[in-house]
Amino acid sequence: MNPSSLHPNRRSFLKSTGLLTAGSLLVGFEIPLMGQPRLPATASGLMADAFIRIDVNNTITLMMNHAEFGNGVYTSLAMMVAEELDFDWQTLKWEAAPTEAQYFSPIFGEYLTAGSVSTAGALKPMREAGAKTRQLLLTAASRLWDADIRSLSTSAGQVHHADGRSIFDGDLSDMSRDHDLKPPKSVQLKDPSEFTVLGRPQRRLEGPEKVTGEAQFGIDVRRPGMVYGAVLRPPVYGSLVKTFDAEAALKIPGVIKVKAIDAGVVVLAKDYWTATKGVKVLKVDWDDNGLGDLSTAGFTEEYRALSRQPGLLAENIGDAEKTIQAAESSLESVYEMPYLAHATMEPMNCTAQVSPDRCEIWVGTQYQSNDRTIVARLLGLPEEQVIIHRTLMGGTFGRRASKTADFVTDAVQAAQGESVPVQIIWSREEDMRGGHYRPLFVHRVRGSLDDAGYPEAWHQTVVGQSIMQKTKHDPAYLVRGIDIYSVDGCLQEPFGVFPYGTSYQIPNHRVESHNPPKIGVRPHEWRAVGHTHTGIAYECFLDELAHKGGKDPLALRLQLTRDHPRMHHVLTTLETVSGWASPLAEGRGRGLAARIYSVSPIAQAVEVTVNANGEFSVDRVICVVDCGFAVNPLGIESQIQGGVMLGLNAVAYGAIDLVAGQVQQSNFHDYRPLRFQQMPKVEVHIIESDAPSTGVGEQATTPIAPAVANALFNATGQRVRQFPLDRHGFVLKA
Amino acid sequence: MLKLMINGEPESIDASPDTPLLWVLRDHLHLTGTKYGCGINLCGACTVHVDGAPVRSCGLPVASVVDQSIETIEHLARDGKYTAVQQAWLDADVAQCGYCQSGQIMAATALLRQVSSPSNQQIDAAMNGHICRCGTYQKIREAIHHASKLIEQGGQA
C-alpha cells in the first residue's frame, strides 16, 4: 500500500486542524498520519542546490549524502535544511545522493558515513543549502510580484507578501529556472534563538515506512528478471576454492547455475531458498591458505606474552616507569577482550547487474566511494560506469563500511556473465562467520598512587591487531607505526587525527602499543572502535586504583577532571541525577565510567543486583552526555539507548572464537543478543550547550561495559578482567 | 501450484512445497516487509499471522499453511489509517534501523488483539523472542502501553 493513499492532502488536513504553527509541526497523538506521500520525483524538478530539488507540486527532495542505518541522520539532515528553508521538515522527500564528489563527506573526503561525525560535518553546509534555497525562492517571488524582497517572508513552504499574497515554494521553481536565477554565494544563517526545528525533539523522517513494511533495505531490492544467489563460504576464513562438484546442486529444480567466485562457490536460483538448498549439496575442496591452525586461545597467549615486552611508545608524560618502581605499593592487572561480531539484523547482501560497459549495484553501504573504486577496478570500468543505489540499512555498527567491499564484490562477481541482476544474501551463519570483527585485545595496566591516594603513575600496554595497518588509511591513522584506533581512549593527549584525550590528568602516563601480525580474520571497526576495549581496561583499572586508594570512584574522577570543565560538569551532573550517594541494599552495586569519544564527553552510572550464583540484572542506567548543541534530542536518546544495549550485550555475552582457523559461533543461539526483558531502563540527560555539535552515535556503547564490571565489583568484591562476563562468573539474568 | 490466502487475497505459487513461507512471501510475492534474520526461529524478524496467531515464517514450510489465512505487515494499515500499534510505534519514535520492526509490530499486534491492556509481564512474554540490535526495546514497551490506550479510545490493534 502506498502511504500517500492514507492522506492525499496532508497539508490541508494540518491547516484545518490548526497544527501548523510558525513553521513547526506540532506532532501529537491525535494526528493519524505521518506518512511520506511518495509523489513521483520529476526529473524536471529544479535543483536549487546540490542537495535540494524543488518540484512544481511543492515537493522538496533532499539528496542524502550520509547513510541511514538507524543513526537518524536523514532526520537530522532534513531538520537542518528545513530550519533555514522554512519548510515543513516532515514532508521533505529524500533520495540517496549518487556517488559524486560533491556529496563526499567534508571530513573524510570520501563518501563515508562513520566516526560519529555526520552531524558535526553536515550542520553548516546543510543549513546553508536551506538558507540559499530560501533566498532563491524569495528572489523568484520578488520577480513574480515585482515586489521589494524586503516585503517578503517565508513560512511552511510558502513565500508571503506583506499584502497578504502567498505562493508555494514549488510554484516558484519554473520562475527560478526560466529566469536562470541562482542562489546567492553566501547567506546569513538564523540565530539559534530563532530555531523552531533544530534543538527540539523530532521523530524519525523515515519512521512511517518502517511501520508499514515499505522501507527498502538492500535485501528488499527486486529488479526485473532478478535471480537469487547463496554462497558456500569456506570454514576457514581466507581459504580459496581448489575444486568443486556442482552435480547434485544442478539437479535441484530451480537451480540455474553454480560457479566459483573469490568468496567461495555461488549457487544461482529462482529463489533464495532454492539457492540455499543447492549450497547444502555442494562439494568443495578448499585451500586454507595456511590459516587452519589459528585459534583465539593461541592469540590470547601470544598477546599476554607480548604485553610484557616494550611496545611502540604512543604516549610518555612524566616518568611512569620510575614512579611505579619507586612507589610503596603499585597495582598490575591484565584485561582481555575477545573478537566481536557486528551481527546486524539485516545480514550482508547486495544486488548487482553487470554488462560489458556498466555495472549497477543496489546495496546498503556506509562507504560507497570505496565500493565504487573497488568494483571499477575489478571490472576494468571507469568509476562513473559503476552506479550505486544506496538503500536503507538494517544496522551496521561499522560492518557496512568494508575496506574490501567484500559484500559488494561477491554480488558483482556472481553477476558477471549473467544477463540479469543477481542478489546475494548472506545467511546468518555466513554473516556471523564473515571474518570482520572487533579485534581481540590484551591490555596490561600498571599504576601507583601518590601519598593522598590519587593515581600518580599509569603504564598501559595495548596488544591487538591493527585495523588500519596495510590499508589505504595507513598514512592518516598510523602514527609512528601505531594504529591510533588501538590506543584511542587510553591517551591523555590528542593523538593523530583524534583531537581529544581521556579528560583525566595523571602526572606520569605511559602507553605502549603492539600490533601483532594481521592474519586470519579481519580486524574491523565496531561501534566506538578502540574504546570498546580501551574503555574497559582504562575505566576498570581506574576503579581498581580508586579502591586501593580508598577513594569513591566518582570522587576520584572528579579530581582527575579538574582541568576538563566539560567532563567535570558531566560528572557532577551524573552525581546528582543518579543519586550516586544514596545507599543501596545488600546484593546491589553501583559503578560508573566516563569517556570522551569523537570529542563528546559521556558518563554512565549503573545499578546492578547480583545473587549468590553470580546471576545479575542491570536495574538502571543513567547516562549524561555533552554533545554540544543537541540537534535532535529525541534522536540522541535513541542513540544512547542503542549504544547502551549493544555495549551491555557485548560485555555480557559477546565473543567470537576461532578454533583451527574456524569461527565457532554461527547464529543467535551461540552469539546471544540481548533480549527484550533484559533491557535496563536507560535515563538520558543531555547537557544544554551552544558549543559546536559533536557525535552521539558511538559514544554510549563503551562506558556501559566497564560501568557494569565496576558495579559487579561494588556489589560482590569480585573483579572481572576477562570478558565476556558469562564466561567469568557473572551471567546476565535472562 | 500451491494455493494460498494471503492478506485476504488468493495467491497461486509455483514454489517447492518445502519452501519456508518467508521466502514465498519475499521472493515469489515480493512482500518484502517480512524479514529474514536468522532462519532458525530465533529472532522473530519473519513474524506473520497465521489464522491470527503470530508465527515465525522462516521455518514454516509453505505446504503446511495452504488452508490457512496469512496476514503480513503490509496488510495492517488499511482504509487510510494506521493501526493503533503502528500509530503508537510512530508516536513513540520506536524504529532505529527498522529492520526488525515488522516482526516486532506483528508480535505486538497479536498480543494486543488478544489482551488489549497487557501487563509488563505479558509484554515480556510476547516480545522476548524478538531481537532488536539497535536497542529499541525500551521504546517498544512504551509504544505497547501507548497502543493499549489508543485501543481504549477506539483504535484497532
**Best of A211, A268, A526, A638 to disrupt the B interface by mutation (most B CBs within 10 Å)?**
A211
Whether residue A430 is contained in a domain is answered as no
| pLDDT higher than threshold 90 for residue A628 | yes
- Name A282's Cβ contacts closer than 8 Å, sequence gap at least 6: A232, A244, A245, A246, A248, A249, A258, A265, A267
pLDDT in tens, A174-210: 888 888 898 999 999 999 999 999 999 999 999 999 9
CB-nearest to A679 from B27, B42, B137 is: B137
Residue-wise pLDDT for A694-733, tens only, equals 999 999 999 999 999 999 999 999 999 999 999 999 999 9
Say yes or no: A336 and A418 in one domain.
no
Three-state secondary structure call for residue A733? coil
- Residue B80 confidence (pLDDT): 79
* Residue A10 domain-assigned (yes or no): no
A380 Rama sector, left if φ>0, alpha if ψ -120 to 50, beta otherwise: left
Do A279 and A396 belong together in one domain?
yes
Instruction: Give, to the nearest 10 degrees, the angle between helix B84-91 and helix B101-114.
Output: 130
Q: What single-letter DSSP state applies at residue A217?
A: B
How many angstroms separate the CA atoms of A100 and A654, rounded? 38
- Which amino acid, residue A440? L
Please report, for residues A83, A89, A188, A194, the alpha-carbon distance to residue A198 in angstroms, rounded to integers and kept in the order given.
7, 10, 17, 10
- B109 interface with A at CB cutoff 8 Å: no
Q: Verify whether the Cβ–Cβ distance B77 to A634 is below 8 Å.
A: no
Contacts of A213 in chain B (CB under 8 A): 31-34, 72-74, 102
User: Using the 8-state DSSP alphabet, how is residue A171 labeled?
Assistant: G
A32 contacts in chain B (CB < 8 Å) = 81-82, 87
Give domain B84-152's CATH architecture. Answer: Orthogonal Bundle (1.10)
In this structure, is residue A15 part of a structural domain?
no
Mean pLDDT of chain A: 93
d(CA A482, CA A308): 17
Does residue A5 lie in a domain region? Answer: no
List pLDDT tens digits, range A56-93. 888 899 999 999 999 999 999 999 999 999 998 888 99
Predicted ipTM of the assembly: 0.98
Structural contact between residues A658 and A295, judged by C-beta atoms closer than 8 angstroms: yes
Residue B6's closest CA among B66, B80, B84, B47?
Answer: B66
Name the percent of chain A lying above pLDDT 90.
Answer: 90
Residues of B in contact with A70 (CB under 8 A): 95-98, 134
Kindly state whether residues A334 and A359 are assigned to the same domain.
no
3-state helix, strand and coil shares in percent for chain B, rounded to the nearest 5 = 40, 15, 45
* Residue A149 to residue A138: CA distance in whole angstroms: 6
Q: Does B66 touch chain A (CB under 8 A)?
A: no
CB neighbourhood size of B53 (10 A)? 11
Nearest-angstrom CA–CA distance, B87 and B77: 10
Q: Is A378 in the same domain as A452?
A: no
Please say whether the beta carbons of A272 and A255 come within 8 A. Answer: no
Q: Are residues A591 and A714 in the same domain?
A: yes
Local confidence band at A44 (pLDDT 50, 70, 90 cut-offs): low
What is the tally of structural domains in chain A? Answer: 3
Question: Inter-chain contact A213–B20, Cβ cutoff 8 Å?
Answer: no
- β pairing state of A330-337 and B2-6: unpaired
The one-letter amino acid code at A293 reads D
Confidence of residue A10 (pLDDT cuts 50, 70, 90): very low
Q: Which of B30, B35, B62, B138 to mutate to test the interface with A (most CBs of A within 10 A)?
A: B138
Beta carbons of A370 and A112 less than 8 angstroms apart: yes
CA angle A114, A709, A648 (to 5 degrees): 40
Is residue A353 within 8 Å of A671, Cβ to Cβ? Answer: no
Burial-class residue A514 by CB neighbours within 10 Å (0-12, 13-18, 19+). Answer: buried
Backbone angles phi, psi at A266, to 5 degrees: -105, 140
State which H helix or E strand residue A11 sits in.
Answer: helix A10-17
Q: Which CATH superfamily is domain B2-75 in?
A: Beta-grasp domain (3.10.20.30)
In a domain, residue A265? The reply is yes
Helix locations, chain B, DSSP H: 21-23, 84-91, 101-114, 120-127, 137-152
**Residue closest to A213 by CA, chosen among B59, B39, B103:** B103
As a whole number of angstroms, the distance between CA A163 and CA A441 comes to 69
Choose among A70, A425, A682: nearest Cβ to B138: A682
Closest to A29 measured CA to CA, from B119, B67, B89: B89
Query: Where is the domain boundary, A373, A391, A425?
Result: A425
With a cut of 50, say whether residue A589 has pLDDT above it: yes
Mark whether A240 and A315 lie in a shared domain. no
Determine, yes or no, domain membership for A19: no
Does residue A465 contact residue A516 with C-beta atoms inside 8 Å?
yes
A270 inside domain:
yes
The answer to whether residues A724 and A619 belong to one domain is: yes
Q: Which of A212, A232, A260 is the last residue of a domain?
A: A212
CA angle B15, B19, B22 (to 5 degrees): 105
Residue A91: the pLDDT is 87
| Per-residue confidence (pLDDT) for residue A15, from 0 to 100 | 28
Whole-number pLDDT of residue A651: 98
Which residues does A356 contact at the CB level (< 8 Å), separation at least 6?
none
Nearest CA in chain A to B124: A677
Report the CATH number that the domain containing residue A203 is assigned in CATH: 3.30.365.10
Q: Does residue A35 contact residue A7 with C-beta atoms inside 8 Å?
A: yes
Residue with cell 526488525: B100
Q: For chain B, which residues score pLDDT lower than 50? A: none
Those residues whose C-beta lies under 8 Å from the C-beta of residue A534, and which sit 6 or more positions away, are A443, A462, A487, A488, A489, A490
The pLDDT confidence band at residue A34, using thresholds 50, 70 and 90, is very low
Residue A29 reports pLDDT greater than 60: no
For chain B, the domains span 2-75, 84-152
| Same domain flag for A390 and A529 | no
Confidence of residue A226 (pLDDT cuts 50, 70, 90): very high
**First and final C-alpha spacing in chain B:** 34
| Helix A368-379 vs helix A406-415: crossing angle, to nearest 10 | 40
Q: What is the mean pLDDT of residues A364-383?
A: 98
Residues A431-456 have a mean pLDDT of 97
**Residues of A in Cβ contact (< 8 Å) with B82:** 6, 32-33, 211-212
Q: Are residues A377 and A462 in the same domain?
A: no
Across the range A244-266, mean pLDDT stands at: 98
Cell, residue A390: 544506496
Residues A69 and A146 in one domain: yes
Tens-place pLDDT, residues A532-574: 999 999 999 999 999 999 999 999 999 999 999 999 999 999 9
Count of other CB atoms within 10 angstroms of residue B5: 16
Q: Over 80: is that where the pLDDT of A13 sits?
A: no
Same domain, A563 and A668: yes
Handedness of CA B72, B74, B76, B78 (dihedral sign): negative
What is the mean predicted confidence (pLDDT) over A504-527?
Answer: 97
Same domain, A111 and A225: no
For A664, the domain range is: 296-340+436-732
Task: Report if residue A701 sits inside a domain.
Answer: yes
- Alpha carbon distances (Å) from B24 to A271, A420, A721, B35, B70: 8, 20, 48, 12, 12
Show which of A212, A240, A271 is a domain's final residue: A212
